[in-house]
């Protein structure tokens, strides 16, 4: 009651009674923490609850991964590198390897992964005795108890949609941006077919040149393309560019 | 029976018939029975190995039993005061922890053994003396501060049967020894040859001297009301009404002054750790610092106990004459007052130097004089 009075009339002659306010606050706090419990968590013995989408170390679902390398491209600290490992069926496949000594747990790799094979895990106890132990290979990155919530979905609004007044249609960028062929520069070398992780590129014969050889050009199955830019990087004549949709 | 030598204290085998202990003294009884068990066992063992010797008879003779019962009584009283002190430190740390929304001490059951662990830690630390320090002042000031603190803590009676000696000067001697420490803190601050220590010592002296005055005036009004300095008489005078009822003003003044005298937050200017490193204790390291902290809490215990004795009816339960274990009642009241001390410590920030002196001289001193005038008016009116 006194406190309420002083809150209303802070300049009244009874303002010396302000000393009561901190005492009332501390007494309330004492009863609260005695009846329930203090916020302190006895860390090694008990751990704080973390949500599934907590940004801990990145994890990998090995069988879902395409090996496209978007995570490697997007990593701000360049701690991800693609290495060749034995797949489940014995073939060599490309999979990411994360140097956790440099990882800043931003979760971009999980956010940009087109198939949600890269996930964020609630694992934050990462201390190790050597730096080599901190380099997590594709198998070590696995997190067996992964749930739906550990995937991070990228939602982007298109400028064109916003201009048209559509605000409830978020779209992932890899479903919009597409590689585009500059026909005059292409020499038909088929390198893009070899590097495409999803196998959406096919070479088709466009016609015949003056020497009677077939002119080959890539064709993109745009429904499956994840826009990883591997073909753009590989193209020797810069004939491929990514067309950005705005 | 006139007192003529120290032997008067020990020639009586039964403490109940000793005229110097005209009331039952529980610690003496405990010491007497302890020596009967200990000394009897030792004498029996010696007699078993060397039958028919004089040493075993000497150990259980009346005079030796009397002396050693006195020694054991002192040990018992100190041990109890020490355990009370540890409990109060534990209480303060727990209460502070809960008020700050954290867990406090963790060692042992309910964290009670944390203080022993801390004591062990300070005991194992290196004992450093600054080479440029004044060695005599350095050690003597420390010894006197700790010594008087422990002494007055042991002189506090827990009940009418738990005391070291029932003497007429009572509170007067406790207050006298309580007032030695500020002077010795100034000496300690000078002797350490450190600017922070010197500043802390000067602040301690200024603060404690300015708060001695209202405290002593309140003390005078209490003794005026009880017509005695003797602690038993003061408690007995509060049978009908605790002194807190007519002297509520004096109680408040005494409590504020006691917080300042015990150098506790919010009046901990002498060891303002944000400005002066550790105040007048800066150059004391290891176990010396641990003993200073212990002495501080002994003084806090004495302040609380004096408040209970002078205002809260000592070891009496209100509205009833039944009192099975008066020591427990007394200690519960002391812990209650100390809870308020810890509560103030959790709630308030440190007060500025000029504000401390302003509060001491311009607020508490007039209030204590008004309290004395109220007591005088009640006395003249014949109310008490």
Which of residues 22 through 41 in chain A touch B, CB cutoff 8 A? 22-23, 25-27, 29-30, 33-34, 38-40
What band does B251 get if pLDDT is binned at 50, 70 and 90?
very high
- The 10 Å Cβ neighbour count of residue A198 is 17
pLDDT at B65: 83
Over residues B303-315, the mean pLDDT reads 89
What band does B6 get if pLDDT is binned at 50, 70 and 90?
low
Per-residue pLDDT of B106-121, as tens digits, reads 888 888 999 899 889 9
Rounded to whole angstroms, how far apart are CA atoms A4 and B322? 43
Percent of chain A with pLDDT over 90: 15
Domain boundaries, chain B: 6-73, 125-381
Nearest CA in chain B to A19: B348
Per-residue pLDDT of B126-144, as tens digits, reads 888 888 888 888 889 889 9
Shortest distance between the Cα of A123 and any Cα of chain B, in A, equals 26
Instruction: Give the residue from B135, B249, B246, B263 showing the smallest Cα distance to B208.
Output: B263
B377, B221 contact by CB (below 8 A): no
SS (H, E, C) B140-204: HHHHHHHHHHHHHHHHCCCECCECCCCCCCCHHHHHHHHCHHHHHHHHHHHHCCCHHHHHHHHHH
Over residues A25-51, the mean pLDDT reads 88
pLDDT at A113: 86
Helix, strand counts (H, E) of chain A: 7, 9
A19 at interface of B, judged by CB pairs closer than 8 A: yes
Residue of higher predicted confidence among A159 and B46: B46
Rounded to whole angstroms, how far apart are CA atoms B255 and B178? 15
Contact: A26, B101; criterion CB under 8 Å: no
A92 phi-psi bin (left φ>0, alpha ψ -120 to 50, beta other): beta
* Beta bridge pairs of residue A82: A96
Contact: B95, A19; criterion CB under 8 Å: no
Question: Cβ contacts (< 8 Å) between A22 and chain B: which residues?
Answer: 347-348
Asked if the model's pLDDT at residue A228 lies above 60, the reply is yes
pLDDT at B339: 94
Q: Which residues contact A218 (CB under 8 A, 6 or more apart)?
A: A181, A186, A190, A192, A193, A201, A202, A203, A231, A240
Nearest CA in chain B to A29: B99
Q: What residues of B are in the A interface, CB distance below 8 Å?
A: 95, 97-103, 343-344, 346-348
Residue matched to tokens 């300042």: B260
Least confident of A162-171, B69-78, B93-102, B333-342: A162-171
What band does B13 get if pLDDT is binned at 50, 70 and 90?
low
Of A19, A22, A40, the CB nearest to B102: A40
What band does B16 get if pLDDT is binned at 50, 70 and 90?
low
Confirm whether pTM is higher than 0.95: no
Question: Cβ contacts (< 8 Å) between A27 and chain B: which residues?
Answer: 99, 343
Instruction: Give the residue from B303, B94, B284, B259 showing the smallest Cα distance to B194.
Output: B284
Shortest distance between the Cα of A27 and any Cα of chain B, in A, equals 7
- The 10 Å Cβ neighbour count of residue A48 is 8
What band does B2 get if pLDDT is binned at 50, 70 and 90?
low
- The 10 Å Cβ neighbour count of residue B148 is 21
Asked if the model's pLDDT at residue A183 lies above 80, the reply is yes
Over residues B32-42, the mean pLDDT reads 87
Least confident of A110-124, A190-204, B54-68, B95-109: B54-68
Per-residue pLDDT of B148-160, as tens digits, reads 999 999 888 888 8
What are the φ and ψ backbone dihedral angles of A182, each rounded to 5 degrees?
A: -95, 105
Map residue A207 onto helix, strand or coil. strand
pLDDT at B104: 85
Contact: A34, B98; criterion CB under 8 Å: yes
Instruction: Give the sign of the dihedral formed by CA B265, CA B269, CA B272, CA B274.
Output: positive
Contact: A29, B100; criterion CB under 8 Å: yes
pLDDT at B91: 92
What band does A174 get if pLDDT is binned at 50, 70 and 90?
low
Least confident of B87-96, B167-176, B182-191: B167-176
Question: Cβ contacts (< 8 Å) between A23 and chain B: which residues?
Answer: 343-344, 347-348
pLDDT at B333: 92
Find which of A26, A29, A39 to mutate to test the B interface (most B CBs within 10 Å of its CB).
A26
Question: Cβ contacts (< 8 Å) between A40 and chain B: which residues?
Answer: 101-103
Contact: A33, B95; criterion CB under 8 Å: no
How crowded is the C-beta side of A125, counted as CA atoms within 13 Å? Answer: 5
Contact: A29, B97; criterion CB under 8 Å: no
Rounded to whole angstroms, how far apart are CA atoms B130 and B119? 22
A38, B94 contact by CB (below 8 A): no
């Amino acid at each position: 009651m006194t406190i309420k009075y002083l809150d209303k009339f802070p300049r009244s002659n009874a303002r010396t009674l302000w000393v009561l306010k901190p005492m009332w606050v501390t007494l309330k706090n004492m009863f609260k923490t005695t009846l329930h419990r203090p916020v302190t968590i006895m860390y090694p013995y008990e751990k704080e609850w973390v949500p599934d989408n907590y940004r801990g170390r990145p994890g990998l679902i090995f069988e879902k991964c395409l090996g496209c390398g978007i995570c490697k491209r997007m990593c701000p600290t360049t701690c991800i590198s693609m290495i060749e490992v034995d797949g489940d069926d014995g073939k060599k496949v490309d999979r990411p390897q994360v140097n956790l000594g440099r990882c800043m747990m931003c979760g971009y790799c999980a956010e940009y992964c087109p198939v949600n094979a890269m996930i964020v895990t609630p694992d934050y106890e990462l201390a190790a005795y050597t730096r080599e132990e901190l380099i997590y290979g594709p198998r070590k990155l696995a997190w067996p108890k992964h749930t739906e919530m550990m995937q991070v979905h990228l939602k982007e609004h298109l400028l064109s949609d916003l201009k048209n007044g559509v605000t409830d249609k978020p779209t992932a960028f890899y479903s919009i941006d597409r590689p585009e062929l500059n026909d005059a520069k292409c020499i038909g070398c088929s390198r893009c077919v070899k590097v495409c992780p999803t196998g959406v590129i096919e070479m088709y014969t466009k016609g015949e040149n003056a020497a009677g050889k077939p002119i080959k050009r890539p064709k993109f199955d745009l429904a499956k393309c994840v826009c990883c830019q591997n073909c753009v990087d590989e193209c020797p004549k810069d004939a491929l560019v990514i067309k950005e949709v705005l | 029976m006139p007192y003529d030598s120290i032997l008067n204290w020990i020639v009586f085998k039964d403490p109940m018939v000793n005229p110097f202990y005209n009331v039952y003294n529980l610690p003496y009884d405990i010491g007497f029975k302890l020596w009967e068990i200990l000394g009897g066992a030792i004498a029996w063992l010696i007699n078993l190995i060397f039958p028919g010797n004089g040493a075993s008879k000497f150990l259980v003779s009346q005079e030796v039993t009397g002396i050693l019962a006195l020694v054991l009584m002192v040990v018992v009283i100190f041990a109890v005061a020490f355990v009370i002190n540890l409990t109060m430190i534990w209480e303060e740390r727990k209460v502070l922890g809960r008020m700050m929304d954290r867990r406090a001490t963790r060692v042992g059951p309910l964290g009670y053994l944390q203080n022993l662990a801390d004591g062990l830690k300070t005991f194992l630390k290196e004992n450093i003396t600054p080479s440029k320090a004044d060695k005599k002042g350095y050690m003597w000031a420390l010894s006197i501060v700790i010594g008087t603190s422990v002494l007055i803590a042991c002189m506090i009676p827990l009940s009418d049967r738990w005391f070291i000696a029932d003497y007429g000067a009572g509170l007067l001697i406790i207050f006298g020894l309580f007032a030695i420490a500020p002077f010795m803190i100034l000496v300690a601050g000078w002797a350490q040859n450190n600017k922070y220590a010197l500043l802390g010592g000067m602040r301690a002296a200024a603060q404690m001297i300015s708060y001695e005055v209202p405290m002593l005036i309140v003390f005078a009004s209490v003794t005026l009301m009880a017509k005695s300095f003797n602690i038993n008489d003061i408690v007995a005078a509060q049978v009908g009404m605790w002194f807190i009822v007519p002297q509520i003003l004096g109680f408040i003044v005494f409590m504020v002054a006691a917080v300042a005298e015990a150098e506790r937050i919010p009046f901990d200017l002498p060891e303002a750790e944000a400005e002066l490193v550790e105040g007048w204790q800066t150059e004391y390291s290891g176990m010396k610092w641990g003993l200073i902290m212990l002495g501080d809490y002994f003084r806090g215990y004495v302040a609380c106990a004096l408040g209970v004795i002078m205002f809260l009816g000592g070891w009496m339960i209100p509205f009833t004459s039944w009192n099975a274990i008066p020591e427990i009642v007394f200690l519960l009241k002391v812990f209650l007052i100390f809870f308020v001390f810890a509560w103030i410590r959790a709630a308030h920030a440190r007060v500025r130097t000029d504000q401390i002196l302003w509060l001491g001289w311009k607020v508490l001193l007039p209030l204590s004089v008004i309290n004395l005038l109220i007591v005088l008016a009640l006395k003249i009116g014949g109310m008490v």
